[in-house]
Each structure stands twice: as C-alpha cells, then as structure tokens.
C-alpha cells in the first residue's frame, strides 16, 4: 500500500490508499443506513458536527470492528506516528467516533477542528465534475479539502489543498483546522468518512 507523509507546515500529514474491499463495505453500509431511520438508531450525527450537508451518519462500533475499518485506522495511525515521532510506538488507540458525510452541490463544511488526538478523512465517492468557477482564470477549489495551520511564512505554506480522490485517506493531528468548499453543476454525491481517536497521552504531548 502506497504511503506518503506530507509535512507542509509543521505537523506531518499521512496520505494512504484505503483497501478496495473496505471502500465497498463502507459504501454498502452507507446505502443501507441512509434508507433507515437514523434518529431511531441514534446514528444521525448532524447535530454534533460542523457540516452544512445533506446527511452525516455515525458508524456503529460493531461495523467498525467486523469490517476491518478499526484495524485500518489503528495500524495506519501507529505507522504514521512511528515514522515521524522518533520511532515511538503507540500502545493505545481509542476511537472516539467515526462518521460518514454525504455532501451534494452548494453544501459545505466550515473551518473547524476536531476532538481527540488524531483525526482523518477518506473518500468513498467523488463527483466526476465539481463544476466551474465564476472567474475562469482562478484555480478551481470546488469540493476540495483544505488543511490550515499557522500562517504563511518564508519557505512555509499554511494551507494544504487536497482534491478528493476515491480511496485516498489523510491522517492529521486533531487541532489542524480544515474546511471543505461547496461544488456546483452536478447532482452527484461527494462521500467521505472521518474519525477522531485518542492515543497515548505522553506521546501526544511529547515535543522532543
């Protein structure tokens, strides 16, 4: 599995590819839950999250375990921290929660941070076209994720711009601010999956 560690502005960002079978399982889970009464199951995460989007579905703990999604998150988090934090191995990984975001045209996710120690987002569905910009000579950020940290300095950017691709999964510290721009001109869905987790407190707070 290809792994890329990105260090654009201080904290490192891990980019990996999700296994194809896991993408299928998460999409099937989404389709199933979208047709059910989420409020009755206490799986409607919309009131607890920042997004202004069509639907946000909390993922059940049993599915996280049986699908292999929990193991994927734990193993990639451990590898990322080992590779970037002087070979320190985490012994604890406690998932706070995970959820699926179903976003359609003109919807967005405002700038925000997460709880826990580590967070991440992966892509399950992406529109073939995010639409055009009003001013044709401007970079098209429609539907993009942007990670923001600090301010722009000499030889140091403060924004990492990410165009979603199916299967890409990004891991980052919980405090990294991020936002998702709206898109236009399509009825297709932009579908992502996110998580928050705690790791060993002494490793998270280590600055050496």
Q: Where does 6-139 have alpha helices with state H?
A: 20-34, 38-41, 61-66, 69-84
Phi, psi for residue 156 in degrees, rounded to 5: -145, 115
Whether the predicted pLDDT of 201 surpasses 80: yes
Q: What is the mean pLDDT of the segment spanning 98-120?
A: 96
Q: What domains are there in the chain, each with its CATH number?
A: 3-204 (2.60.120.620)
Residues of 77-92 as b/e, b for ≥16 C-beta within 10 angstroms? bbbbbeeeeeeeebee
For residue 148, the model assigns a pLDDT of: 94
Q: What is the mean pLDDT of the segment spanning 130-138?
A: 88
- Could you tell me the strand order of the sheet in which 118-125 lies? 3-6, 13-17, 168-173, 118-125, 190-199, 93-103, 55-58
pTM: 0.92
d(CA 99, CA 29): 11
d(CA 88, CA 101): 32
Q: What digits encode the pLDDT tens for the residues 80-96? A: 999 887 778 999 999 99
Beta-carbon contacts of residue 185 (< 8 Å; ≥ 6 apart): 105, 129, 130, 131, 132
26: pLDDT confidence band, cut at 50, 70 and 90? very high
Whether the predicted pLDDT of 143 surpasses 80: yes
Q: What digits encode the pLDDT tens for the residues 56-77? A: 999 999 999 999 999 999 999 9
Phi, psi for residue 43 in degrees, rounded to 5: -110, 0
Whether the predicted pLDDT of 1 surpasses 70: no
Q: What digits encode the pLDDT tens for the residues 146-166? A: 999 988 888 778 899 999 999
Q: What is the mean pLDDT of the segment spanning 107-121?
A: 96
For residue 183, the model assigns a pLDDT of: 96
- Could you tell me the strand order of the sheet in which 109-112 lies? 109-112, 177-180, 145-148, 159-162
* Beta bridge pairs of residue 99: 58, 194
Beta-carbon contacts of residue 197 (< 8 Å; ≥ 6 apart): 73, 77, 93, 94, 95, 96, 116, 117, 118, 119
When the pLDDT of each residue in the chain is averaged and rounded to a whole number, the result is 92
For residue 99, the model assigns a pLDDT of: 97
d(CA 150, CA 159): 9
Which of 109, 116, 137 lies closest to 198, judged by CA? 116
For tokens 């055009």, the residue is 132
């Amino acid at each position: 599995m290809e792994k890329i560690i990105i260090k654009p502005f201080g904290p490192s960002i891990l980019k990996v590819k999700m296994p194809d079978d896991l993408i299928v399982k998460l999409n099937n889970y989404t389709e199933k839950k979208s047709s059910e009464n989420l409020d009755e199951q206490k799986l409607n995460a919309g009131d607890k999250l920042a997004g202004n989007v069509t639907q946000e579905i909390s993922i059940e703990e049993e599915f996280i375990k049986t699908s292999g999604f929990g193991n994927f998150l734990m193993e990639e988090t451990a590898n990322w921290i080992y590779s970037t934090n002087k070979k320190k191995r985490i012994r604890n990984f406690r998932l706070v929660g995970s959820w699926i975001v179903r976003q359609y045209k003109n919807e967005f996710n405002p700038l925000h941070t997460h709880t826990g120690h580590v967070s991440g987002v992966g892509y399950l569905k992406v529109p073939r076209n995010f639409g055009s910009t009003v001013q044709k000579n401007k970079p098209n950020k429609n539907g993009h994720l942007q990670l923001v940290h600090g301010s722009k300095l000499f030889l140091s950017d403060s924004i990492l711009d990410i165009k979603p691709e199916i299967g890409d999964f990004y891991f980052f510290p919980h405090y990294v601010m991020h936002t998702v721009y709206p898109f236009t001109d399509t009825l297709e869905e932009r579908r992502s999956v996110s998580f928050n987790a705690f790791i060993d407190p002494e490793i998270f707070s280590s600055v050496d």
